Amino acid sequence: MDKKKLRYQIPILVGFALLYVALGVFIYLKFTVRVAYERSDGLKAKSIELDEYLPFDDNSQTVTIDTDLKLESDLPVIDGAAALYPVFSGFVGSTYPEASVVFDGTDFEANSALKMNNTRSAYQEVVDGTADIVFCAYPSDEQLQYAKDNGVELVFEPIGQEAFVFIVNENNPVDGLTSEQVRDIYSGKITDWSEVGGTPGPIVAISRNEGSGSQSTMIRFMNGQKIKDNHNLLLGKGIAFSFRFYVENITNYGGIKLLALDGVEPTKENIRNGTYPSTSYFYAVYRADNDNPNVPILIDWILSDEGQYVVEANGYVGIN
C-alpha cells in the first residue's frame, strides 16, 4: 500500500520543489539580472574614472592649452558635475601649477584645488564657500533655495553648451521622438512603446535623483508638467535622459542609442547651429561676494578664445 502511494507521492514532492526552483530562476532571469549588473565590475568600471582625466597626467584624456595665464597663488578651488569634469580639469591643467592638484589614486584630497564631487555637492560647496567656482548645469529649485536661505547670491556665467539627450536600448526600434511625446511619456499620458511607433510593451520612463544636473534640466524640459513616478521599472523597456558627451564619451557605454528629438540628431553640429531643440548651457557658478582676485581672471580666460578652445577640445560646444 505504502509503496503504491510512494509512486505518486515522491513525484508530487519533487515536482512541487522544482516548481519553486523554476519560479526562482524565472524571477532571477527576468527581473533580478536587470538590476543586479549594477554591482558587477564591468559596469562599475564604466562610471567616470577620475584618473583618466587628471590635468597633469601624461596619459590624460583631458585636453589643455599652452597659455600665458599662469595662476600661482589664491587659486580658486574648482569643483563640478561629473559630466563636465574633463572641461574643468582642462582649465586647471592649462592655468594652475601642477602641485595644486593632489590626487590619492582614487579621489582628490582635501587640499587639492581641483575636486570632483558632482552637482549636488558642488552647489552646496559653492554656497558654503568651500569651493570658489563650480561647473554645472543650471541648479534645481532646492539648490537655489539653499543659496537664498544662506543669504548667498550666485553668479551664473554660461561657458558652453550641451545637448540634453534621451536614450534607449540600442535594439529599441524607436529612433526618435518629438518633444511633446517625451513630455507625454514622462507625465504618464503615453505608457506603451506602440503609441510612439515602437514594439508593444510598457514604457519605463526613468528619472534621476533630485538635485542632479540632468534631473533639474529634465524638470525644466517638462515645462511645468509633473514627472510621474514610474513603478514599472522591472517590467517595461526604458527611456532615460542625460547629456550627450557624458553618455557618448565619458561613460562610453555600449548597448544604448541617442534618440533624435523633433527629427534632429543630437550632434555637436546641431548643437552649434541651434537646430537640436534641447540644448542647455552649462555654467561657471560662483558667489557674487567671492573676493578671490583670481576668480574673475579665470572666468575671463574661460570666455576667451583659449578657454573656449579647451571647452571644444574636450568634446563640448562653446558659447560663441
Partner 1 sequence: MKDKHFYIALIVIGLIGIIGISLLLGYTLKLKEKASIITIITTENW
List residues binding partner 1 (CB under 8 A). Answer: 2, 5-6, 9-10, 12-13, 16-17, 19-20, 23-24, 27-28, 31-39, 43, 167-169, 171-172, 199, 204, 206, 208, 233-234, 237-242, 247, 251, 253-256
Pairing state of beta strands 203-205 and 237-243?
parallel
Q: Minimum distance between the CB of residue 239 and partner 1, rounded to whole angstroms? A: 8
Q: How far is the CB of 187 from partner 1 (least distance, A)?
A: 18
Give the residue among 245, 258, 240, 217 at the shortest CA–CA distance from 119. Answer: 217
Least distance CB 55 / partner 1 (angstroms): 26
Nearer to partner 1 (CB atom), residue 83 or residue 159: 83
Nearest CB to partner 1, comparing residues 208 and 272:
208
Q: Which is nearer to partner 1, 37 or 226 (CB)?
A: 37
Contacts of 282 (CB under 8 A, 6+ apart): 81, 84, 135, 136, 137, 158, 159, 160, 161, 162, 316
SS3 of the chain: helix, strand, coil, percent, to 5: 40, 20, 40
> Cβ 11 to partner 1, closest distance in Å?
12
Distance CA 29, CA 23 (A): 10
Smallest distance, partner 1 to C-beta of residue 171, A: 4
- For residue 173, the minimal CB distance to partner 1 (Å) is 9
The contacts of residue 102 (CB under 8 Å, 6+ apart) are 108, 109, 111, 112
Shortest Cβ distance from residue 32 to partner 1 (Å)?
4
For the bound state, the minimum distance from the C-beta of residue 207 to partner 1, rounded and expressed in Å, comes to 8
Strand-pair partners of 161: 281, 317
Nearer to partner 1, 21 or 110 (CB): 21
Nearest to partner 1 of 70, 231 (CB atom)? 231
- The nearer residue to partner 1, 35 or 109, going by C-beta atoms, is 35
CB-CB neighbours of 197 under 10 Å: 12
C-beta of 168 vs 310, nearer to partner 1: 168
Residues contacting residue 298 through CB under 8 Å, at least 6 positions apart: 69, 71, 76, 91, 95, 133
Task: Read off the DSSP letter of residue 236.
Answer: S
Residues 159/282, Cβ–Cβ less than 8 Å: yes
- Contact status, residue 162 vs residue 244, Cβ threshold 8 Å: yes
Rounded Cα gap, residues 281 and 274, in angstroms: 12
d(CA 60, CA 171): 33
Task: Choose between 23 and 142: whose C-beta lies nearer to partner 1.
Answer: 23
